[in-house]
Structure 1
């Protein structure tokens, strides 16, 4: 993003703390009141560039923002906040429950080896309402407490043990949320690794508007093979993967920055504002200005927030 862009969303490692570099492997455990209490239960919108968070509300309620959508939910529930997701919380004063923050890339690498389909759960923001008596929900707190013990231990292998426990925790999250999507296709580790490299390349280069031949060349395949690989593993074409990343970034910047549409178009590599407008409308059904107006209006009306959104589901027992 160029210097003309006026960002209003801060980036933290933990809310209020200076952001750590993405290459610094770490995980942290807290209880929700530890961080939110000193801020009067209000965690304003911010982003973690390299860190994923998972919150388990065992008591109380929360109004939660994930990118440009809001929910109001009560305990027990799980909140999954992947890296680069704008998020904020307004907790009730009686809230309680654990929070784990960890470097996302190593977690993804471990998941890719142990259970490739788990990557979808790790990367997707989610609000999951729980049945406290459900058989999968019963496994959550022991895992959170084991992660807490490991975080406090400061012993050899601490990070490896923490990542292993966090992987087990996300297996439970996947089981709890399994009702919201069909079972993913089993794919080979080689294909998963190729997709991971492609997604990383897209994340690093999507603003440059590079041709598909660039990405295919980096993977040692043809553009047609890359698109077929994406359809097999992700269920969408390689071009749609790139376009979805651009749209996501555009939506985030429209809501959380004061930049003009022209500045946004420039930062995202579009030749002009009109071309960007046509692209955005094709993929969202709205012009950039319409999207910004509607999103900001909806965020100012908490009475219109859904009790459960498209990623908020009642977990099976």
Structure 2
């Protein structure tokens, strides 16, 4: 069984900006605690400013991106989805102004970090126990902040569109197909997306596909043609043009560049 895990935001992104700044979703629940800097998060298709002493609770499968800039710092606790540790069903953005509450969360995360670094017996049980304390802290913070923000019709549309992208992005369907499924015109969906996220409807869909493509190219050995097919591209040539357009590198060059960045293990 998987256990809770603690990382810095930079570690979570594996040291590459695109893993955080492109639209994607995570298989685990995530609680992000920002302690330095400020930036932008787009979650469920809605853009929002984030800063120091902000906590973001992002359920597994929720589409999001996060940009804290070069000077931002935060930690993220990853909680296995489907396990005994419960998280809210919907995204939460908490601005923690109470110093005691800030210190309580910091103490829990520091305890998890020490436990994870020690590799002692029963580490997984200890981490999950701390994670349960974390969810107690989260529920208390949600009560202290008061009722969740009311969602406008635009925000509800964005949430539905983001959920469809997260589920179906690999189908190769055009943005207009998503609009029809949502009962709106492509023009209306694009307008609402631009207002809510700063990105057009097509750009949100493109970012999610680009994230998946880069992840498969840079971490795996699957042939490029198979990657293209699995992501709904009509041909390997079209996929290659897509990657070149958005990264200024061919798929092969992108894969080679990523391989060159990986640390080599010295031969003893």
Tell me the TM-score normalised to structure 2 length.
Answer: 0.55
What is the aligned partner in structure 2 of residue 164 from structure 1? 139
Aligned pair 1:213/2:213, yes or no?
no
Name the SS of the counterpart of 2:27 in structure 1. coil
Aligned pair 1:299/2:262, yes or no?
yes
Aligned with residue 140 of structure 1, among 78, 94, 102: 102
Contact kept? 1:51, 1:101, Cα under 8 Å:
yes
Between 1 and 2, higher relative CO (CA 8 Å, sep ≥ 6) is seen in: 1
Q: C-alpha offsets along residues 19-66 of structure 1, whole Å, 9 cap, x if unaligned?
A: xxxxxxxxx6x789xxxxxxxxxx9x8x96132254899xxxxxxxxx
Deviation at 1:192, TM superposition (A): 1.7
Distance 1:242 1:187 in 2: 25
Unaligned 5+ segments in structure 2 are: 15-24, 36-53, 64-74, 112-127
What is the aligned partner in structure 2 of residue 307 from structure 1? none
What is the aligned partner in structure 2 of residue 289 from structure 1? 252
Distance 1:166 1:296 in 2: 42
RMSD of aligned C-alpha atoms?
A: 4.8
Distance 1:198 1:152 in 2: 36
Work out the number of aligned pairs and report it. Answer: 194
What is the aligned partner in structure 2 of residue 254 from structure 1? 217
Contact kept? 1:143, 1:165, Cα under 8 Å:
no
Distance 1:289 1:222 in 2: 38
Distance 1:288 1:167 in 2: 44
Deviation at 1:197, TM superposition (A): 1.1
What is the aligned partner in structure 2 of residue 109 from structure 1? 90
Deviation at 1:263, TM superposition (A): 0.9
Once the two structures are superposed, the pairs formed by residues 10-89 of structure 1 within 5 Å of their partners are: 13-14=2-3, 49-52=27-30, 54=32
Contact kept? 1:107, 1:167, Cα under 8 Å:
no
Q: C-alpha offsets along residues 243-284 of structure 1, whole Å, 9 cap, x if unaligned?
A: 100100011111111101111111111111111000111111
What is the aligned partner in structure 1 of residue 45 from structure 2? none
Name the SS of the counterpart of 1:229 in structure 2. helix
